[in-house]
Amino acid sequence: MNVTDLTNKVHNKSEQVTVAVAHAVEPSIFTACSLAAEKGTASFHFIGPLTEMTDAMKDAAVEQSDRFSFSDAADEAESAQKAVVLVHEGQADVLMKGMTPTSKLLKAVLHKEKGLRTGRLLSHLAGFQLPEQDDLLFLTDAAMNIAPDLTQKQGIIENAVEALSKMGMELPKTALLAAVETVNPAMPAAVDAAVLTQMNRRGQLAGCLVDGPLALDVAVSAKAAKQKGLETDVAGRADLLVAPNIETGNTLYKSLTLFGGATVGGMIVGARAPIVLTSRSDTAESRLFSLLMAVSTIQK
């Protein structure tokens, strides 16, 4: 799967997808959303203080579009609540974080009556477009779950696999990361990886091909896998990397962007709708990639 595949999937949708943007008061948000609207990726409903949103749009030199609509909100919390309600009521398909803090957005998402709960674990899925590499590489979970246990890791994998399946990837090759390829009782990550691999082989973890424990080099490098004598369906050709904890995931995420020069997209999965997470430092290209990932999972 590559960016072109995602783009084609999004642009071939029979109905337009609407994205609710919580607290859209920063110029770069309008820059990215304007580019996305021009490309036909989605329509956008911006929620926030109207004056601040108008000023941000002017600062971004973005003109009003028939793909843009607006709702007034007094502050970050109200922006998050109104954006979530739009998705909850079916008036929007995707939730996007603007400048509201993630904690306030998730509080609205987890509201018992008007939120986006499904009873499933929420987890983060990141996608990376690496230089000189056509296929996308995905990573979970680098932002939500701190030290997932075995059951939570199963939920994290299931969330990611479901999202990738909706994007169009069949049987994603899923590598469970650890420091070594042997099962060492002193290394919980290796033990969990071995159990999850067996669960996949017995049909308890479906829709993907799972292998682990695998060190990073063996997971993504065919040469390294061959040198270590590991010839499996996953070793050396992983589509999805599963981190054993948030420290590993977060460090790998930042290494791929800072040292690897990757363009990254990300979203939260496991809710009733995909949730696009952005930050002030994200480039327009990165924001567009995140939107492509999220919109491509919408079944329309």
Tens-place pLDDT, residues 219-263? 999 999 999 999 899 999 999 999 999 999 999 999 999 999 999
Mean pLDDT value across residues 112-134:
94
Does residue 280 surpass a pLDDT of 80?
no
Cβ atoms of 80 and 100 within 8 Å: the answer is yes
C-alpha triplet 295, 122, 40: angle, nearest 5°:
10
pLDDT band at 9 (very low <50, low <70, confident <90, very high): confident
Does the pLDDT value for residue 297 go beyond 90?
yes
Instruction: Give the separation between CA 1 and CA 84, rounded to whole angstroms.
Output: 30
Band (pLDDT 50/70/90 cuts) for residue 39 is confident
Task: Name, of 2-11, 61-70, 238-247, the range with top average pLDDT.
Answer: 238-247
Whether the CB-CB separation of 115 and 108 falls below 8 Å is answered with yes
| pLDDT score recorded for residue 266 | 94
What pTM, to 2 d.p., does this model score? Answer: 0.94
Q: What is the pLDDT of residue 13?
A: 77
